[in-house]
């Protein structure tokens, strides 16, 4: 039998990693989200093959925005191979644009293994059929960012043809043998201090996660034992969070219906109880509250003022996506917004981690411990109250029932919460440990104009991509270096980077959902239906402006957006 091959397979969302692995090993692995790397073994052409599938990252998000637990698990994938992998296979789907952001994201995530990883890397291209009559070589010639990736790994690549799997696998194994020979038969060395330190941190975080989980469960058990918790016949809930955090989807999950964003408040019976949910305007994820439009900053209190029954809510639900990094910059922004409600708000707040379907194989406690001090501070500030929602599975009513139970437990410890916005003026929220390193010395209107410029550019890019999802248009997308060319800013580098991160996050979330829709139905009407149900959108104007922007290439000014919101 020929020598064994051990490979780590890497890629972002929609990169076809699972399809490549299934083709090589001749089995069917369902395409699903996971965090912990999965080792699969088989025999191919008379030799043992070990493939290690790793967690995906968002294709345009840089390393700083990937959760620590994902980065740790990706790195620890090499330890699933007893003596280390021979090769790293990075999968790139050619049917999707490969921009500078894609390249930088790929380089940073592979960089977790150290610079020497490139000596063991082969690029696997999927989706070559989308090029139609254009060869991969011709395509690479006009794709500067692809060229740079290939140069990093010695110009080694393989076009994987799913229609001719047998030949595709044979050719790939030959190329893997070539790279092993070029490395003098040596595998990737895992006994590296940096890698071993990450493994130790991962193991310690798992231990700490179990301690946190037990502490929380012990507290809940005690409340039950002393009969301190009595289910309330009515619950009033206020949702808070940044744009595209999953607030509206959370409301829809609670009611098991598509209610938000059609309505900002809904009251109905759930589990035999009267449940009222108020959805409030979202804020920018990375920007201080002073750079949000005035109508959005005031929107939270205005939403409450317009509803007499929500003056005394039972719970504030702070919505945080679980598959996002959470560092001091986010701690600072959230602290500013929560301060508008007064210091007492923390006693009545539960952190709700959304997108739980993306972390199905690790505990939320492991994410909290891995992420570090900022997220741990937030959870402790809320008295260790947190919950996880999978908004993709509204039929899972247990997650809703448990949230209600946790609200009951919180109410049993506290009196009702009363909004006291005047306290915010007295609150010193600019603690030294959460201040930005440098203040952005630009006026608010200028920052808003730059944000709008970025989002208009992203919207036009999304519009082009939606058009290119149809078979007759796919090849046209490939001639562009980037479908989202960076806008021209009159700003310093720090501000540019914050704006880029806001725009990139918006783009990848929408495109991920649009591609899911495209896989299920090619109808443009289905795409429009999804866009109409978007959670929130920039400047608080609702998802209708996405539709308008896709139909009308002319950008709308900020004043018009304010008028729409006021209406």
Percent of residues, the chain, with pLDDT higher than 70? 77
Does CATH place domain 215-426 in 3.90.440.10? no
Does CATH place domain 5-191 in 3.20.20.70? no
- DSSP summary character for residue 431: -
Query: Looking at residues 267-278, what average pLDDT do you find?
Result: 92
3-state helix/strand/coil string of 433-464: CCCCCCCCCCCHHHHHHHHHHHHHHHHHHHHH
5-191 and 215-426: same fold? yes
pLDDT band with cut points at 50, 70 and 90 for residue 224: confident
Averaged confidence pLDDT in the chain: 81
- DSSP summary character for residue 162: G
Query: Looking at residues 236-248, what average pLDDT do you find?
Result: 92
Higher-pLDDT residue of 319 and 427 is: 319
Q: What's the pTM?
A: 0.85
Cβ-proximal residues to 504 (8 Å cutoff; 6+ apart), any chain: 60, 61, 101, 458
Q: Tens digit of pLDDT for each residue in 483-503? A: 344 444 456 788 889 999 999
pLDDT score of 378 more than 90:
yes
Asked whether the beta carbons of 201 and 279 are under 8 A apart, the reply is: no
- Report which of 91, 82, 71 is spatially closest to residue 188, judged by C-alpha positions: 82
- DSSP summary character for residue 275: E
pLDDT score of 172 more than 70:
yes
Termini Cα distance of the chain: 73
> What span, in angstroms and rounded, lies between the C-alpha atoms of 360 and 73?
14
Query: Looking at residues 520-532, what average pLDDT do you find?
Result: 50
pLDDT score of 548: 33
pLDDT score of 307: 60
Lowest-confidence pick of 49-58, 301-310, 355-364: 301-310
Lowest-confidence pick of 7-21, 70-84, 298-312: 298-312
Cβ-proximal residues to 46 (8 Å cutoff; 6+ apart), any chain: 1, 2
Query: Looking at residues 360-381, what average pLDDT do you find?
Result: 96
Domain ranges of the chain: 5-191, 215-426, 444-566
> What span, in angstroms and rounded, lies between the C-alpha atoms of 23 and 157?
17
pLDDT score of 410 more than 80:
yes
Look at strands 234-241 and 273-279 and give their pairing: parallel
Q: Torsion over CA of 547, 552, 553 and 558, rounded to 10 degrees?
A: -70
Backbone angles phi, psi at 477, to 5 degrees: -70, -20
Query: Looking at residues 124-132, what average pLDDT do you find?
Result: 86
pLDDT score of 565 more than 60:
no
SS3 content of the chain, % helix, strand, coil (to 5): 50, 15, 35
Query: Looking at residues 255-271, what average pLDDT do you find?
Result: 85
> What span, in angstroms and rounded, lies between the C-alpha atoms of 119 and 409?
55
């Amino acid at each position: 039998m020929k020598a064994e091959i051990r490979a780590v397979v890497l890629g972002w969302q929609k990169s076809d990693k699972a399809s490549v692995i299934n083709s090589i090993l001749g089995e069917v692995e369902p395409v699903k989200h996971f965090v912990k790397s999965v080792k699969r073994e088989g025999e191919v052409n008379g030799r043992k093959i070990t493939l290690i599938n790793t967690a995906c990252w968002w294709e345009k998000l840089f390393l700083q925005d990937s959760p620590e637990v994902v980065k740790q698990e990706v790195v620890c994938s090499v330890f699933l191979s007893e003596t280390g992998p021979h090769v790293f296979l990075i999968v790139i789907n050619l049917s999707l644009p490969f921009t500078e952001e894609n390249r930088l994201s790929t380089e940073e995530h592979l960089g977790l293994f150290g610079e020497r990883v490139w000596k063991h890397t082969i690029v696997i291209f999927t989706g070559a059929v989308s090029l139609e009559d254009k060869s991969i070589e011709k395509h690479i010639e006009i794709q500067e960012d692809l060229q740079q990736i290939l140069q990093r790994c010695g110009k080694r690549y393989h076009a994987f043809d799913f229609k001719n799997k047998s030949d595709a696998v044979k050719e790939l194994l030959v190329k893997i043998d070539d790279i092993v020979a070029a490395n003098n038969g040596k595998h990737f060395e895992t006994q590296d201090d940096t890698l071993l330190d990450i493994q130790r941190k991962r193991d310690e975080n798992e231990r700490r996660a179990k301690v946190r989980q037990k502490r929380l469960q012990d507290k809940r058990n005690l409340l039950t034992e002393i009969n301190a918790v009595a289910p309330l016949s009515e619950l009033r809930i206020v949702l808070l969070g940044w744009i595209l955090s999953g607030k509206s989807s959370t409301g829809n999950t609670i009611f098991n219906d598509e209610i938000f964003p059609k309505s900002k408040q809904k009251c109905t019976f759930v589990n035999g109880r009267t449940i009222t949910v108020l959805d409030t305007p979202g804020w920018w994820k990375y920007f201080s509250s002073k750079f949000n439009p005035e109508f959005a900053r005031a929107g939270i209190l205005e939403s409450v003022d317009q509803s007499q029954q929500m003056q005394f809510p039972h719970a504030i639900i702070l919505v945080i996506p679980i598959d996002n990094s959470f560092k001091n910059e986010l701690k600072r922004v959230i602290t500013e917004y929560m301060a508008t409600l007064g210091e007492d708000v923390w006693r009545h707040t539960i952190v709700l981690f959304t997108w739980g379907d993306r972390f199905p194989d690790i505990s939320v406690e492991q994410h909290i411990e891995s992420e570090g001090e900022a997220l741990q501070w937030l959870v402790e500030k809320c008295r260790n109250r947190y919950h996880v929602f999978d908004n993709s599975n509204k039929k899972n009513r247990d997650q809703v029932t448990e949230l209600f139970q946790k609200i009951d437990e919180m109410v049993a410890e506290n009196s009702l919460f009363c909004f006291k916005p005047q306290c915010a003026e007295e609150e010193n929220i600019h603690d030294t440990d959460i201040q930005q390193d440098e203040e952005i010395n630009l006026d608010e209107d200028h920052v808003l104009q730059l944000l709008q410029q970025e989002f208009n550019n992203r919207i036009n890019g999304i519009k082009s991509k939606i058009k290119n999802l149809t078979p007759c248009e796919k090849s046209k997308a490939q001639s562009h270096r980037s479908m989202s060319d960076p806008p021209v800013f009159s700003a310093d580098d720090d501000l540019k980077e914050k704006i880029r991160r806001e725009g990139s996050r918006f783009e990848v979330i929408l495109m991920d959902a649009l591609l899911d829709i495209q896989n299920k139905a090619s109808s443009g009407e289905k795409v429009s239906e999804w866009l109409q149900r978007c959670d929130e959108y920039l400047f608080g104007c609702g998802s209708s402006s996405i539709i308008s922007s896709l139909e009308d290439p002319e950008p709308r000014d900020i004043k018009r957006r304010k008028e729409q919101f006021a209406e």
